[in-house]
Amino acid sequence: MSKAFENVVNKIIGEVSQEVRVMFEDSLRASLEILERNKRETIIEAEKIHRSTERQAETLRLRIVGSAELIIKNKSLELIEQMMNEIFQKAFEKIEKISSSDRYKASMKRLLEEGIEIVASKDLVVLCNKKDGRILKVLAKEVANEKKVNIKLAEEPIESIGGVQVRSSDGTIFYDNTIEARMERFKPLLRKDLAALFASKE
Protein backbone atom coordinates (compact mmCIF):
# COMPACT_ATOMS: atom_id res chain seq x y z
CA MET A 1 0.00 0.00 0.00
CA SER A 2 1.42 3.36 -1.01
CA LYS A 3 1.96 6.07 1.52
CA ALA A 4 -0.51 8.37 -0.25
CA PHE A 5 -3.27 5.73 -0.22
CA GLU A 6 -2.62 5.00 3.45
CA ASN A 7 -2.95 8.68 4.27
CA VAL A 8 -6.27 8.87 2.43
CA VAL A 9 -7.59 5.80 4.28
CA ASN A 10 -6.46 7.17 7.63
CA LYS A 11 -8.08 10.50 6.85
CA ILE A 12 -11.37 8.85 5.91
CA ILE A 13 -11.27 6.65 9.04
CA GLY A 14 -10.55 9.73 11.16
CA GLU A 15 -13.41 11.68 9.63
CA VAL A 16 -15.79 8.74 10.03
CA SER A 17 -14.65 8.23 13.60
CA GLN A 18 -15.15 11.93 14.30
CA GLU A 19 -18.59 11.84 12.71
CA VAL A 20 -19.52 8.70 14.65
CA ARG A 21 -18.26 10.28 17.85
CA VAL A 22 -20.27 13.45 17.17
CA MET A 23 -23.35 11.40 16.34
CA PHE A 24 -22.85 9.35 19.50
CA GLU A 25 -22.38 12.46 21.61
CA ASP A 26 -25.45 14.09 20.04
CA SER A 27 -27.46 10.93 20.61
CA LEU A 28 -26.19 10.66 24.17
CA ARG A 29 -26.95 14.32 24.83
CA ALA A 30 -30.43 13.95 23.33
CA SER A 31 -31.01 10.82 25.40
CA LEU A 32 -29.85 12.61 28.55
CA GLU A 33 -32.11 15.56 27.76
CA ILE A 34 -35.07 13.24 27.24
CA LEU A 35 -34.21 11.43 30.45
CA GLU A 36 -33.91 14.70 32.37
CA ARG A 37 -37.18 15.98 30.92
CA ASN A 38 -38.92 12.72 31.80
CA LYS A 39 -37.46 12.90 35.28
CA ARG A 40 -38.78 16.45 35.78
CA GLU A 41 -42.19 15.49 34.41
CA THR A 42 -42.24 12.42 36.64
CA ILE A 43 -41.34 14.52 39.69
CA ILE A 44 -44.03 17.10 38.83
CA GLU A 45 -46.62 14.36 38.32
CA ALA A 46 -45.56 12.65 41.54
CA GLU A 47 -45.92 15.96 43.40
CA LYS A 48 -49.39 16.43 41.91
CA ILE A 49 -50.40 12.94 42.99
CA HIS A 50 -48.92 13.55 46.44
CA ARG A 51 -50.78 16.85 46.84
CA SER A 52 -53.99 15.27 45.60
CA THR A 53 -53.55 12.38 48.02
CA GLU A 54 -52.88 14.81 50.86
CA ARG A 55 -55.99 16.81 49.97
CA GLN A 56 -58.09 13.66 49.82
CA ALA A 57 -56.66 12.47 53.14
CA GLU A 58 -57.31 15.88 54.74
CA THR A 59 -60.84 15.97 53.32
CA LEU A 60 -61.48 12.50 54.68
CA ARG A 61 -59.99 13.45 58.05
CA LEU A 62 -62.12 16.59 58.26
CA ARG A 63 -65.18 14.60 57.24
CA ILE A 64 -64.52 12.02 59.95
CA VAL A 65 -63.77 14.70 62.55
CA GLY A 66 -66.81 16.70 61.46
CA SER A 67 -69.06 13.66 61.73
CA ALA A 68 -67.67 12.82 65.16
CA GLU A 69 -68.09 16.42 66.34
CA LEU A 70 -71.65 16.49 65.01
CA ILE A 71 -72.49 13.25 66.83
CA ILE A 72 -70.97 14.61 70.06
CA LYS A 73 -72.79 17.93 69.64
CA ASN A 74 -76.13 16.23 69.01
CA LYS A 75 -75.61 13.97 72.00
CA SER A 76 -74.70 16.96 74.17
CA LEU A 77 -77.83 18.80 73.02
CA GLU A 78 -79.94 15.76 73.86
CA LEU A 79 -78.41 15.57 77.33
CA ILE A 80 -78.89 19.31 77.85
CA GLU A 81 -82.57 19.08 76.90
CA GLN A 82 -82.98 16.05 79.15
CA MET A 83 -81.36 17.87 82.07
CA MET A 84 -83.51 20.95 81.45
CA ASN A 85 -86.68 18.87 81.45
CA GLU A 86 -85.64 17.20 84.71
CA ILE A 87 -84.85 20.57 86.30
CA PHE A 88 -88.21 22.02 85.22
CA GLN A 89 -90.08 18.92 86.35
CA LYS A 90 -88.55 19.16 89.82
CA ALA A 91 -89.32 22.89 89.90
CA PHE A 92 -92.96 22.24 88.96
CA GLU A 93 -93.27 19.57 91.65
CA LYS A 94 -91.81 21.94 94.23
CA ILE A 95 -94.21 24.74 93.20
CA GLU A 96 -97.21 22.43 93.54
CA LYS A 97 -96.11 21.51 97.07
CA ILE A 98 -95.87 25.14 98.22
CA SER A 99 -98.91 26.47 96.33
CA SER A 100 -100.81 27.13 99.56
CA SER A 101 -97.94 28.76 101.45
CA ASP A 102 -97.43 32.46 102.19
CA ARG A 103 -94.32 32.37 100.04
CA TYR A 104 -96.39 31.27 97.05
CA LYS A 105 -98.93 34.04 97.68
CA ALA A 106 -96.11 36.58 97.70
CA SER A 107 -94.84 35.15 94.41
CA MET A 108 -98.32 35.37 92.89
CA LYS A 109 -98.56 39.02 93.90
CA ARG A 110 -95.19 39.75 92.32
CA LEU A 111 -96.21 37.97 89.09
CA LEU A 112 -99.46 39.95 88.99
CA GLU A 113 -97.69 43.28 89.56
CA GLU A 114 -95.13 42.48 86.89
CA GLY A 115 -97.87 41.63 84.38
CA ILE A 116 -99.73 44.86 85.16
CA GLU A 117 -96.59 46.96 84.65
CA ILE A 118 -95.86 45.34 81.28
CA VAL A 119 -99.42 45.58 79.92
CA ALA A 120 -99.58 49.18 81.20
CA SER A 121 -103.34 49.61 81.00
CA LYS A 122 -105.84 51.00 83.50
CA ASP A 123 -108.44 48.32 82.76
CA LEU A 124 -107.16 44.76 83.00
CA VAL A 125 -108.34 41.18 82.81
CA VAL A 126 -106.40 38.58 84.79
CA LEU A 127 -106.48 34.83 84.23
CA CYS A 128 -105.20 32.01 86.44
CA ASN A 129 -105.78 28.32 87.11
CA LYS A 130 -108.72 27.08 89.14
CA LYS A 131 -106.64 26.42 92.26
CA ASP A 132 -105.19 29.96 92.40
CA GLY A 133 -108.54 31.68 91.81
CA ARG A 134 -109.26 32.14 95.51
CA ILE A 135 -105.81 33.58 96.20
CA LEU A 136 -106.02 35.92 93.22
CA LYS A 137 -109.38 37.38 94.28
CA VAL A 138 -107.76 38.74 97.42
CA LEU A 139 -104.57 39.82 95.67
CA ALA A 140 -106.42 41.52 92.79
CA LYS A 141 -108.25 43.88 95.16
CA GLU A 142 -105.06 44.66 97.04
CA VAL A 143 -102.95 45.30 93.94
CA ALA A 144 -105.75 47.25 92.21
CA ASN A 145 -105.83 49.71 95.12
CA GLU A 146 -102.05 49.99 95.19
CA LYS A 147 -101.63 50.43 91.41
CA LYS A 148 -104.80 52.50 90.88
CA VAL A 149 -106.10 50.16 88.16
CA ASN A 150 -109.26 48.16 87.51
CA ILE A 151 -108.76 44.39 87.61
CA LYS A 152 -111.36 41.90 86.45
CA LEU A 153 -110.84 38.19 87.03
CA ALA A 154 -111.68 35.97 84.07
CA GLU A 155 -114.45 33.47 84.77
CA GLU A 156 -112.84 30.59 82.89
CA PRO A 157 -109.67 29.16 84.49
CA ILE A 158 -106.58 28.42 82.41
CA GLU A 159 -104.51 25.24 82.31
CA SER A 160 -101.39 26.16 84.24
CA ILE A 161 -99.32 25.09 87.23
CA GLY A 162 -99.40 28.61 88.59
CA GLY A 163 -98.92 32.28 87.87
CA VAL A 164 -101.12 34.65 85.90
CA GLN A 165 -101.93 35.91 82.44
CA VAL A 166 -102.67 39.63 82.17
CA ARG A 167 -104.30 41.42 79.25
CA SER A 168 -105.81 44.80 78.59
CA SER A 169 -109.61 44.85 78.68
CA ASP A 170 -109.76 45.41 74.90
CA GLY A 171 -107.44 42.42 74.34
CA THR A 172 -104.81 44.35 72.38
CA ILE A 173 -102.00 43.73 74.88
CA PHE A 174 -101.33 40.36 76.48
CA TYR A 175 -98.61 39.11 78.81
CA ASP A 176 -98.22 35.51 79.89
CA ASN A 177 -96.65 35.42 83.34
CA THR A 178 -97.52 31.84 84.23
CA ILE A 179 -94.87 29.55 85.71
CA GLU A 180 -94.63 27.65 82.42
CA ALA A 181 -94.15 30.84 80.38
CA ARG A 182 -91.47 32.10 82.75
CA MET A 183 -89.69 28.75 82.53
CA GLU A 184 -89.76 28.95 78.73
CA ARG A 185 -88.23 32.44 78.85
CA PHE A 186 -85.58 31.12 81.22
CA LYS A 187 -84.69 28.16 78.96
CA PRO A 188 -82.16 29.95 76.68
CA LEU A 189 -80.12 31.12 79.68
CA LEU A 190 -80.26 27.71 81.32
CA ARG A 191 -79.37 26.01 78.03
CA LYS A 192 -76.37 28.35 77.67
CA ASP A 193 -75.18 27.60 81.21
CA LEU A 194 -75.53 23.84 80.69
CA ALA A 195 -73.70 24.04 77.34
CA ALA A 196 -70.84 25.93 79.04
CA LEU A 197 -70.76 23.24 81.72
CA PHE A 198 -70.49 20.51 79.08
CA ALA A 199 -67.77 22.44 77.23
CA SER A 200 -65.69 22.78 80.41
CA LYS A 201 -65.80 19.00 80.86
CA GLU A 202 -64.34 18.29 77.40
Q: Where are the domains of the chain?
A: 1-97, 100-187
Per-residue pLDDT tens, the chain, 202 aa: give them.
455 555 555 555 555 555 545 555 555 565 556 656 666 776 677 677 667 767 776 777 777 776 766 776 777 777 777 877 777 777 777 777 776 677 888 888 999 999 999 999 999 999 999 988 988 999 999 999 999 999 999 989 999 888 899 999 999 999 999 988 888 888 888 777 777 776 665 5
Superfamily of domain 100-187: ATP synthase, E subunit, C-terminal (3.30.2320.30)
CB contact at 8 A, 125 and 133: no
Helix axis angle for 3-97 and 179-201, nearest 10°, is 140
The answer to whether the CB of 165 falls within 8 A of the CB of 178 is yes
pLDDT for the residue 96: 72
The residue type of 148 is K
Mind listing the pLDDT tens digit for each residue in 159-184? 988 889 999 999 999 999 998 888 88
pLDDT at 97: 72
Determine the Cα–Cα distance for residues 192 and 200; give it in Å rounded to an integer.
Answer: 12
CA atoms of 154 and 26, how far apart (whole Å): 110
Cα(93)–Cα(85) distance, integer angstroms = 12
Q: Which residues pair with 126 in a beta bridge?
A: 153, 166
Look up the pTM and report it. 0.58
Distance, CA of 16 to CA of 22 (rounded, Å): 10
